[in-house]
Chain A
């Protein structure tokens, strides 16, 4: 079993948020970042699928619908590895609190729904240490779907899970896809000690719970910026 950063004696700590699109997790992690910055803590924020090197390949693959479940999985693993080795690990060695909007669990959930063998996907990512805290924002499926679908956005092919051929209607496909991902998340919740948040609550209520949990786990003074 892979260990957390604390268990591997890193001076830094990694906090991840996971959840469906529209669960409000990005808002919550943004507010954590603001709070930690105001506390004078060394903090770094990293987003899923954001490595610049891999970006052109990923966007080309997505735009031209070239990706299969396997290459979809591998290209995201490449992106993650780049951020992990070049940014996350060095910062964690330097005692930073690293905030991740999505971590390896996003890959575990999505790639498994796409039909990749779960053990293979987990194996791909086993070079990565586990987060010290993982908040899972659990909203009712309908609520998350409404948040996204209310705006009648142009759903992208892979985002809507169109490659899985659940339905030819992107909105229907998105619903089924998100439902399957939610099942995967719930299945991992205990194994990876997710801190399950009630994402149907108000933003402020959730944020206050999150901050309390972070403070209970971490002594923020240990991570203060040295001036």
Chain B
């Protein structure tokens, strides 16, 4: 095993690349007090005030910790499940608790552990890796984290009161409709999902804008770390996929609360609508969890092998292809619902093809390991365990993609085995590898290598013992989600083996936790350092401000290829070595080639996001347990808290430009389409638009299911002048807002504020006209799924319009105190975006509701 060629080769390459002379953007020595000023500006609050912290290196660590807590909690639920199933006809727990346990296990693992965990890692890692000082919306991160943590805990506690949801983690109606689930258990599920929807969307906005706008100069897209690529695809998938589940949960909650029959077959609803919406989200969800993990693996493998990733471009293509294909697979969860065979063949082919991007990545990792020399340290062990488990899960994935096989395997323990192989292999093992790998960047000392090997072997053997066995259990006939089984079917021994394996996994996780408690010490002083000799920016020396200066990136592994980079960065030779405006700042660069664009001032700690999060949690909680008045109070206060946090985030531009080094002078802040907040709002609008598109899809789907008779004939539709009036109101309001914008440019602030106040009532007026028109025809939302869908289009518009009006209120308030003028207009510009989108969305809705039935009627 003595092999010296490879390291030499790398060393030579590095020497070659490094031989070009470097001219540094900033010269030494740095002015006195520059570093201290930087430290002071970025310092996290101390003591109990730390709750108001927004720095990503704190929020990220809290976030990872919280998701790990939910991993342990959901794991404990699994252990109870395994004890119950250890013997046939077991009386250990009854069906009531069991059904809540498996629902909570799935829900908590998927929604409170897996998605938040990968997002948490991104909050922690991305700014460091990209050379930014923080994420572009730090207070939004803080809000998303606290809402998730408080809401998640409240949701989890429902199990202690016997109120936990019991409909399975995908909550198929009509089992979860009021008729068969009259209690509030199902509402708790919808509540729990609500929080993760908020934090996922917030994370996606943050990640997309962060990756596209706040990279170190020179880090063009072809030098982007693979992990950032993976997170970019991840965030795009959230933007496209999450809206489907947001809409589905909204429809189910509205059906439960107001008896609008979206899923009730007797009144024209269809339970399969839920399944389409849920799996249109739910299948991509698996890749939403897997891609970030794959991205982490693509960072860890090159370091552990000390050589760049083989096939970087192919891996990027694989990530993009996975993201794209994953939206064409959802029906493979629905093979047994009696869909036509032709469409099954299409989805079967697509489901098989998605194996190829995974194959590309697996072989890229193997090739990288071969190209370098793998050090068999704990992160590498978890990577190898991941390769084995994930490959096996991928292979059974191809099996269940085959329609006839799935007809047998579906909803059995075979699928339970498959999904655990994919998720544990595809996410948990990479996450453990990542924790072992990256903890030295945040902790004073790394975790123990000796304990790490024990943790690995316990978990690796445990997972295979538990879940490999389950393939067989399923094939010999055991369906999933049964709280007990008879002795005579030959399932007892298999189940006992699985239970033993489960406790081995638990022992591994326990050992890990003990090691964590013993060795993990967050530090704001020196951390353990670049212990693996990694090549990317997150390993540069860092404080609360991340790196002292923001490096110029000239390779994919800058630390390997740019000699002396850590020291140069630390001494302040690179960009922005201090604070240029006396505030928190980061560099905004262009999306493709990362040329410096402007200096973005970032907001500091604030109680608004923390309070808004707790109040949001209280609001949803109150609604769920039917305490409406307190809920409304909490909701109102939450909005006030959000105003507070947003209040000082629009700093406005400044007349003077600042020097960040190398003679580059940058404007401070920006407005219009280069501004980070414009990008954020556009991303958010994409989410909103996707929600609306999903509702339009639901309308068309229910029409297809019910046939043309579902639509009213033209005589029973409101007359055309009614929608025309609505359209007029919305278009009129948009024109007024455009006018307000012109006046703002001309230098006024009174007239714009007045015009906003004038335009605002037109938005709800349009909705009122539409609803009135429908009511006059005698259409009722509770009687048919057609009525429910038509009114739901207005309801969704109403929710969005309410948000626009709150934003308008916010802008008007700022006008009144002189915080909005032509030089400080980001909040106004963003409002304009929202406004015009509301008008457009309303018009699309009118076209669907009034145009489509007439179109079909003509045909």
Asked if chains A and B come from one complex, the reply is no
Chain B interfacial positions (CB closer than 8 Å to A) = none
Chain A interfacial positions (CB closer than 8 Å to B) = none
